Amino acid sequence: MSTGFRVGVDQNPYLPLGGTEVHAVITVASQGGAGPSAGAVPAAPAAEVVIVDASGSMYGEKMAAAKRAARAAVDTLRDGVHFGIVSGTGTARMVYPPGRALVPAGERTRAEARAAIGGLEADGGTRMGTWLALASELFAPFEEGALKHAILLTDGQNNETPEHFEAVLRRCVGRFVCDCRGVGTDWQVEEMRRLSSALLGDVGIIRSPDRMAEDFRRMTARAMGKSTADVALRLWTPKLAEVRFLKQVAPSVEDLTGRGTPSGPQSRDYPLGSWGQESREYHLCVRVPTGEPGRQMRAGWVKLIAPAADAEVLASGNVLAEWTEDEARATEINPRVAHYTGQAELSRAIQDGLRARREGDAETATARLGRAVALAHEGGNEVTAELLRRVVDIVDPATGTVRLRPAVDKADEMTLDTYSTRTVRTRGRGGGAAPGTGGD
């Protein structure tokens, strides 16, 4: 039976004598919509909430663009998708519909929403916890398995105590997916990444307000393209084993290690959010007790689980371990594991480097951003390399010899920061050659 999901495991299962760390890259691919009608997105129950920052600083061009963007999002919704528009200031207020319950998209509700968006005014503070709390309330009536997606647009920093914000964020985890967009340069990338990461979304900078509508349309279309919500990765590990880490490594780096909840003896479930027609890759590292030569074991059993009601296993794969005295076999690093180890380090190096730069620590900034340049060069991260070039002068990309640029456009720095978690996938052995040179 085809569930439309596949799991692939890439690893070198051989461990040297005394070896305890098993690495694997797990590829999860979804055809988007199960069974023979694959390709056509089934009309899964779906809900969309657009949250627009209406604080005083949004006044003028930014607010005008935000209105166009919110309308673009509304126009992109499928008929029947429940939706609402929220304006966020020191409190959260319904822009449309007036009551605190989402309404199905249709000709009439879209027209009403467009009109209501016109009444948005910039005036007030920024307390994102209250915005998220309202969104969570709006999504509450939708059962598990429904697609629940929010877009949060802001231009500034959050103005509430971290304790309050974190408490709200914790309550929202797993209830809906949220993509965050920052406009201008007065917002904090790390703060928005914290939010979007916890809610399994992404963060992006909108450098010019006139790009906003297109970006909103794309985000909404992508959310509408999902067909399976609330997928989880169930990971069984042997007794006495320890999950050192589980990271999403493509299309972006996301550490999932701390997000597992126990789901049975020696087993934890890690939420993976909503899936359309796409593939994502995960780097798993399990520490196991060492074994004698020739011993073979299952170091991890990965299963993809459908939303809780039926808990159907959509696909599964084995991460194996075998001890060998053959040194060459045991020390060979699987190329995909090597690639994604580099990609995760690249993401960290950029974030560390930019933080050091902000804090005036030029030495650390130069070292970390230089390392990032070398990793981007090695990994084939062309976009990242270009973004790095706007922050540092590159003397030698291969060794990562760089000089900090004295003057850097703040938007360039923030673009690099938001982009830091994006990875590129491993290429075939043929490297950069164009497809068409087949068979080799």
Partner 1 sequence: MLTTCPACADPIGGGDDYCENCGLRLTPVPTEDPGGGRDRVEAALGPLAGVSDIGLRHRRNEDAMALLTPGARSPALVGVVCDGVSSAPRSDDAALVAAETGAAETARALREGAPAGEAAAAGMTRAAGAVAALADASGAPACTYVAACMPEGGGPVTVAWIGDSRAYWIPGAGAPGPARLLTRDDSWSAAMVEGGVLSEEEAENSLYAHAITAWLGADSGEVEGHVSTVALQGPGAVVLCTDGLWNYAPAAEDLAALLPGAERDPAAAARAAVEAALEAGGSDNVTVVVMAV
Could you please report the per-residue DSSP string of 204-233?
A: EEE-SGGGHHHHHHHHHHHHHT--EEEEEE
Asked if 364 interacts with partner 1 (CB under 8 A), we say no
Closest distance to partner 1 from the beta carbon of 318 (Å) = 6
CB of 158 to partner 1, least distance (A): 30
425 binds partner 1 (CB under 8 A): yes
Cβ distance to partner 1 smaller for residue 136 or 381:
381
Whichever of 137 and 326 has its CB closer to partner 1, that residue is 326
In DSSP terms, 150 is beta-bridged to: 49, 178
Q: Chain centroid to CA 81: how far?
A: 23
Q: Does 108 bind partner 1 (CB under 8 A)?
A: no
Cβ-contact 152, 128 below 8 angstroms: yes
Question: Of 243, 287, 301, 404, which lies in the binding site for partner 1, with binding defined by CB under 8 A?
Answer: 301
The CB-of-375 to partner 1 minimum distance in angstroms stands at 16
What are the CA-CA distances from residue 421 to residues 76, 160, 277, 344, 363 (Å)?
Answer: 27, 26, 21, 8, 23
State the pairing for strand pair 313-323/14-15.
parallel
Binding flag, residue 271, partner 1 (CB under 8 A): no
Query: CA-to-CA distance for 412 and 167, rounded, in angstroms?
Result: 32
Which residue, chain included where needed, has tokens 């691919």? 29
Nearest to 274 by CA among 227, 306, 219: 227
Task: Please report how close the Cβ of residue 104 comes to partner 1 at its closest, in angstroms.
Answer: 29
In the set 91, 208, 296, 331, which binds partner 1 (CB under 8 A)?
296
Residue 60, token pair as written in the block: 């003028």
Interaction of residue 238 with partner 1, rule CB under 8 A: yes
> Cβ 159 to partner 1, closest distance in Å?
35
Q: Minimum distance between the CB of residue 255 and partner 1, rounded to whole angstroms?
A: 21
Kindly state the number of chain residues that form the binding site for partner 1, as judged by CB under 8 A: 55
User: For 401, phi and psi rounded to 5 degrees?
Assistant: -85, 115
Which amino acid, 205?
Answer: I
Cα 303 to the center of its chain, rounded Å: 20
Distances in whole angstroms, Cα of residue 181 to Cα of each of 187, 207, 219, 415? 10, 10, 10, 11
228 binds partner 1 (CB under 8 A): no
Angle at 217 between CA 232 and CA 247, to 5 degrees: 30
Cα 58 to Cα 52: distance, rounded to the nearest angstrom: 10
CB of 207 to partner 1, least distance (A): 20
Footprint (CB under 8 A) of partner 1, residues 77-96: none
Residue 1 binds partner 1 (CB under 8 A): no
Per-position x/- string for 3-42, each x denoting binding to partner 1 as judged by CB under 8 A, each - no binding: ---x-xxxx-xx------------x-x-xx---x-xx---
Establish if 437 lies at the interface with partner 1 (CB under 8 A). Answer: yes
As measured in angstroms, the least distance from the Cβ of 26 to partner 1 is 12
DSSP 111: H
Taking the least distance from each CB to partner 1, the nearer of 169 and 302 is 302
Q: Which is nearer to partner 1, 11 or 109 (CB)?
A: 11
439 is an interface residue for partner 1 by CB under 8 A? yes
* Cα distances (angstroms) measured from residue 436 to each of 426, 432, 433, 439: 18, 12, 8, 9
In the complex with partner 1, the residue whose CB is nearer, 97 or 238, is 238
Q: Can you tell me which of 105, 288, 375, 416 binds partner 1, judged by CB under 8 A?
A: 288
Cβ-based neighbour number of residue 112 at 10 Å: 16
3-state secondary structure of 424: coil
Measure the CA–CA gap between 176 and 163, rounded to whole angstroms: 21
Please tell me whether residue 347 binds partner 1 under the rule CB under 8 A: no
Residue 440 near partner 1 by CB under 8 A: yes
Please give the residue ranges that form the binding site for partner 1 (CB under 8 A): 6, 8-11, 13-14, 27, 29, 31-32, 36, 38-39, 237-241, 250-251, 266, 277-279, 288, 295-299, 301, 317-318, 320-322, 335, 424-440
